Amino acid sequence: MAMETAPRRRREFDAIVIGGGLVGAAIAHGLQCGAGLATALLDEGDVAYRASRGNFGLVWVQSKGLGAPWYQRWTRASAAEWPALAADLAARAAGTDVGLRQPGGVHLCLSGQEFEERAARMAQMRAEQGNAAGFDYRMIGAAELRDMLPGLGPRVVGASWTPYDGHANPLRLLHALHRAFVLAGGAYVPNAGVAAEDCRAAPRDFTVVAGGAPWAAPRIVLAAGLGNAALAPRFGLAAPVRPQRGQVLVTERARELLPMPTTTIRQTQEGSLMMGDSQEEVGFDLRQKPAVMREIAARAVLSFPWIARLNILRAWSALRVMAPDGLPIYDQSERFPGAFTANCHSGVTLAGAHARLLAPMIARGALDPMLDPLSARRFDVHAAA
Ligand SMILES: Cc1cc2nc3c(=O)[nH]c(=O)nc-3n(C[C@H](O)[C@H](O)[C@H](O)COP(=O)(O)OP(=O)(O)OC[C@H]3O[C@@H](n4cnc5c(N)ncnc54)[C@H](O)[C@@H]3O)c2cc1C
């Protein structure tokens, strides 16, 4: 077959998003479907590390933002946007049910010390929110918790509870975001890895070569997960993200019903239990470790002894996209206005915010001041040229 040598025609868009994981797809969805911008979504493909295909599926608020109340507010805003996102996707993506359930959630404590530490954490988060935002939570003792969660193990001494928490089917979410984007006229381009040296940046004028063709737009969003670290400097941005491994176990379907998710155990719509998820600093290493899997399963069985009876059917590991302080990073380039970056390790939880709050900001050309504390400037990094 003859190789194609002639340069392919330059394709002009209102916006380019690099990276078709949960973060890029949610933003692209918001730009194309919400803001009506002609958007190209350039995605590297199956060789990439993809947190979006290996996560746990929580839409989780209660553990987010200790010492960083702005992150708690952003997360809560996202959880509040989620029902509208789910409804929008059901309408646009041929009725795809992304499985959103927001019944509240609990963090189980297996010792008195864990309970006390959790209580202190939750109290601090409420204090940090102040009266205006508030933070609705309760520490629940063992007796009441047993009524809420039948089958709870004797080792569980209590839990923290908030009404904000929930879960969804992350693969259906990813699929629905892509499907709705394409049905609305968005250009999804697979196998289109973008190399920093193939990008040209000028204020509100960007061209990247990917998939053998040039793509141009006055706005560009770097949402390539771990790939952002290499791309960002080319656009006068910084994305100091590192991989953090997490392992997940999935059981056969259970006849018991878990009425709400916990931080590390949730029941899928189909009835399987998902158990997770570790936090391992091992670089770009996707191997699974039996010792870690044992630990995950042991804690789940202490929480709900009936889980011991279930067979584990699947297990995997995936790499989180982690900033040095664990918070998201959002920026617009000062040197090249129109270039944005978005990085986070809670892409399911934040999908509501990314599609419905962040994308309109990008369309308008300015990030809301509420995101200022989430700029990479907090690391005092100096963006490379
Ligand atoms: C074990 C585990 C459990 C998790 N549990 C939860 C949870 O319960 N709730 C929650 O909210 N979050 C959870 N997360 C985090 C969530 O999965 C991530 O925040 C989210 O998937 C990040 O999405 P992303 O799009 O930034 O990155 P990715 O999913 O990694 O996607 C990056 C995309 O960019 C593309 N790409 C990369 N480089 C380039 C390039 N140079 N050019 C073009 N394209 C490129 C890739 O092809 C890929 O499609 C979990 C993560 C892990 C690993």
Atom of ligand 1 nearest to the CA of 347: 19
What is the Cα–Cα distance from 29 to 36, expressed in whole angstroms? 10
pLDDT band at 384 (very low <50, low <70, confident <90, very high): very low
Using the predicted structure, report yes or no on whether residue 256 has a pLDDT greater than 70. Answer: yes
Q: pLDDT (tens digit, 9 = 90+) per residue, 38-86?
A: 999 999 976 767 888 889 999 999 999 999 999 999 999 999 999 999 9
pLDDT band at 287 (very low <50, low <70, confident <90, very high): very high
What is the Cα–Cα distance from 277 to 95, expressed in whole angstroms? 30
Q: What tokens were used for 373?
A: 């504390």
Instruction: Identify the DSSP state of 267.
Output: E
Q: How far is the CA of 78 from the centre of ligand 1 (A)?
A: 17
In this predicted structure, what is the pLDDT of residue 4? 45
In this predicted structure, what is the pLDDT of residue 382? 53
pLDDT band at 94 (very low <50, low <70, confident <90, very high): confident
pLDDT band at 381 (very low <50, low <70, confident <90, very high): low
Q: Which of the two residues, 5 and 88, has the higher pLDDT score?
A: 88
In this predicted structure, what is the pLDDT of residue 1? 38
Q: How far is the CA of 206 from the centre of ligand 1 (A)?
A: 24
Name all residues whose Cβ lies below 6 A of ligand 1: 18-24, 42-45, 48-52, 54-58, 60, 193-194, 223-225, 227, 231, 246, 248, 276-277, 318-321, 344-349
pLDDT band at 209 (very low <50, low <70, confident <90, very high): very high
Using the predicted structure, report yes or no on whether residue 122 has a pLDDT greater than 90. Answer: yes
Q: How far is the CA of 321 from the centre of ligand 1 (A)?
A: 6
Q: Which of 18, 52, 85, 206 to mutate to test the pocket of ligand 1 (most atoms within 8 A of CB)?
A: 52
In this predicted structure, what is the pLDDT of residue 51? 85
Q: pLDDT (tens digit, 9 = 90+) per residue, 312-367?
A: 999 999 999 999 999 999 999 999 999 999 999 999 999 999 999 999 999 999 99
φ/ψ of residue 328, rounded to 5: -65, 165
What's the whole-number average pLDDT of the chain?
A: 94
Q: What tokens were used for 224?
A: 């390539």
Q: What is the mean pLDDT of residues 3-9?
A: 56
Using the predicted structure, report yes or no on whether residue 18 has a pLDDT greater than 70. Answer: yes
Using the Cα atoms of residue 211, residue 196, residue 31 and residue 72 in order, give the sign of their dihedral: positive
What is the Cα–Cα distance from 338 to 249, expressed in whole angstroms? 41
Q: pLDDT (tens digit, 9 = 90+) per residue, 137-174?
A: 999 999 999 999 999 999 999 999 999 999 999 999 99
CA separation, residue 383 to residues 47, 65, 247 (Å): 28, 25, 33
Instruction: Specify the residue with its C-alpha closest to ligand 1, atom 38.
Output: 227
